[in-house]
Chain A
Amino acid sequence: MIRKIPRIPSIDGDAVVKEAMRRIEQPSRRLFLQRSLNLGGLSLLTGCVIVDENSVENALMRVSRFNDNVQGWLFDPKQLAPTYPESMITRPFPFNAYYGEEEIRQVDADTYRLEVTGLVADRHAWTLAELRAMPQTDQVTRHICVEGWSAIGKWGGVTFSNFLYSIGADTSAKYVGFKCADGYYTSIDMPTALHPQTLLALIYDGQPLPPKYGFPMKLRMPTKLGYKNPKHIQAIFVTNTYPGGYWEDQGYNWFGGS
């Protein structure tokens, strides 16, 4: 169902992804440790190594969790992100992923199924046609990347709260998690999932979402940074167990809200 364009066509993508994620965990923590501990200039200034490395990493992680809570508290479910005229759309809209443009995944529209699991009443897998048959809306909003840059784009699709209600999701649950065809994974808080501008985007600028923007479907949230907007979504699950995320597990802030 998923064809990763370059090399090894006959591998079970899911199994590879799971194994990779399992392996990533330890090395990435170590990598993060080394990276965050490059106190570089600070130790130069003071002429000494300041503190034990682990305790610095842990303290920074605790502040990041605290910042998640503050953002959850600041989040106003009625506050809309600004919208823009179509003349302000950034062309070309930048491609961004944890891999290069040459590794963009091709997902087959005919065999595509969206799995829905966890705290939901209806767990049937969705075809693309079923998703396209739901009421559609669109928005011209600013995508803000964690790196600082931003770009304005136009996305169309299904309001995510409508989708969640239609599958009988337990909207009192804490998290909605996403698994993607490119091995990416992330999760969001329920209030953001129910925000009126949170879209299951199937369309980009009037055309079916092209592969580089996440064919066949991505989650578009103008209230969150780019890395919280997963592309090529294959599975959605509702849960009370913290699911983490590809970048979040390496140190990016989990809430990642604007």
Chain B
Amino acid sequence: MTNAVQTIHPAWLRATHWLNAVAVVILAMSGWRIYNAAPFFNLVFPNGITLGGWLGGAIQWHFAAMWLLAANGLVYLLCNAGTGRLLYKFFPLSPRAIVADMLAALSGQLSHADPLHYNAVQRAAYLFVMIDAVVLVLSGLVLWKSVQFPLLRELLGGYESARRVHFFAMVALVAFVTVHLAMVALVPRTLLAMVRGR
């Protein structure tokens, strides 16, 4: 086998993955601080895990990292679609396959023998987080410029509704990251692959 065949993650994928990780950490931590300024649930985030020090600082971080998330995400989606990777890595995908692989995973039967191949649960999870990131960007756009994007605003049910959409999309992203990190801890060589490509 040649090196080219053994490459699990191409360089563009690794670069966009880690840039995305930086953007997500900054956006989540600064976003919690912004949420704390006017919480709509009986819940605030401990200031110690937030970024920015105060509302104005948190907003500066958030509105800087948003460009990284959006631009990097766009590069990722274009490369993913353009190289055909989106199709052959994530499809076919069926609910039946997801359930079957989920059950296999929970009973310790799911094989990780071939790191080139995503199982159905991985496919579903990664597709879900792609869509979730798009929802985060679009709802964020409504919160930032609600007057300038009337169609998007009304699709999300108005400004106040867009705040909730943005919040729950964040919750979904944090949930994904939690499971993602737990899986990496269980199968550490996936981390190696995401760093050096093999």
Residue in B50, B148, B163 whose beta carbon sits within 8 Å of that of A148 in the complex = B163
Q: What's the least CB distance linking B55 to chain A, in Å? A: 7
A240 shortest CB reach to chain B, Å: 25
Q: Complex Cα distance A251/B52, Å?
A: 11
Return the chain B residue nearest A80 by Cβ. B147
B7 an interface residue at 8 Å Cβ cutoff?
Answer: no
Given A40-B48, A41-B29, A71-B145, A63 contacting B37 (CB threshold 8 A)? no
User: Is B54 an interface residue when CB atoms closer than 8 A count as contact?
Assistant: yes
Q: Of all chain B residues, which has the CB nearest A252?
A: B56
B145–A45 CB distance below 8 A: no
B35 at the interface (CB under 8 A from A): yes
- A199 → B minimal CB distance (Å): 15
A136 interface hit (Cβ, 8 Å): no
Tell me the smallest distance from the CB of B8 to a CB of chain A, in Å.
Answer: 26
A42 at the interface (CB under 8 A from B): yes
Interface residues of A in 177-201 (CB under 8 A from B): none
- Taking the complex as formed, is A89 at the interface, i.e. its CB lies under 8 A from any CB of chain B? no
User: When A40-B48, A258-B147 are in contact, do A252 and B59 touch as well, CB less than 8 Å?
Assistant: yes
Q: Pick the residue among A41, A45, A81 that contacts B147 (CB under 8 A).
A: A81
Query: Judging by beta carbons under 8 Å apart, are A74 and B64 in contact?
Result: no
Contact (Cβ within 8 A) B53 A34:
yes
How many residues from B make CB contacts under 8 Å with A? 35
A222 to B63, CA, bound (A): 21
By a CB distance below 8 angstroms, the chain B residues around A258 are 145-148
Chain B residue at smallest Cβ distance from A81: B147
How many A-B residue pairs have C-beta atoms within 8 angstroms? Tell me: 106
Q: Tell me whether A20 is interfacial, beta carbon within 8 Å.
A: no
Specify the chain A residue showing the minimal Cβ separation from B56.
A251
Indicate whether A148 sits within 8 Å of B52 (C-beta atoms), given known contacts A63-B63, A257-B145.
Answer: no
Residue of B nearest to A247 (CB): B56
Within 9-41 of B, Cβ neighbours of A (below 8 Å) are at 25-26, 29, 34-35, 37-38
A171 within 8 A of B: no
Report if A76 contacts B (CB, 8 A): yes
A146 touches B63 (CB 8 A): no
* Contact residues in B for A35 (Cβ distance below 8 Å): 52-54, 56-57
Query: In the complex the two chains form, is A147's CB within 8 Å of B37's CB?
Result: yes
- Evaluate whether A251 and B57 lie within 8 angstroms (CB atoms) in the complex, with A142-B159, A148-B37, A148-B163 already known: yes
B52–A36 CB distance below 8 A: yes
New contact pairs (8) apart from A36-B61, A142-B159, A253-B63, CB-CB < 8 Å: A35-B52, A41-B29, A45-B25, A147-B34, A147-B37, A148-B143, A149-B38, A252-B56
Binding site for B on A (CB under 8 A): 32, 34-42, 45, 59-61, 63-64, 67, 71, 74-76, 79-82, 142, 144-150, 222-223, 247, 250-253, 257-258
Closest 7 CB pairs of A and B: A35-B53, A38-B53, A36-B57, A251-B56, A147-B37, A63-B64, A148-B38
- 15 contacts across the A-B interface (CB closer than 8 A): A36-B52, A38-B51, A40-B29, A41-B29, A41-B48, A60-B57, A60-B64, A71-B145, A79-B147, A81-B147, A146-B37, A148-B34, A148-B143, A253-B59, A253-B63
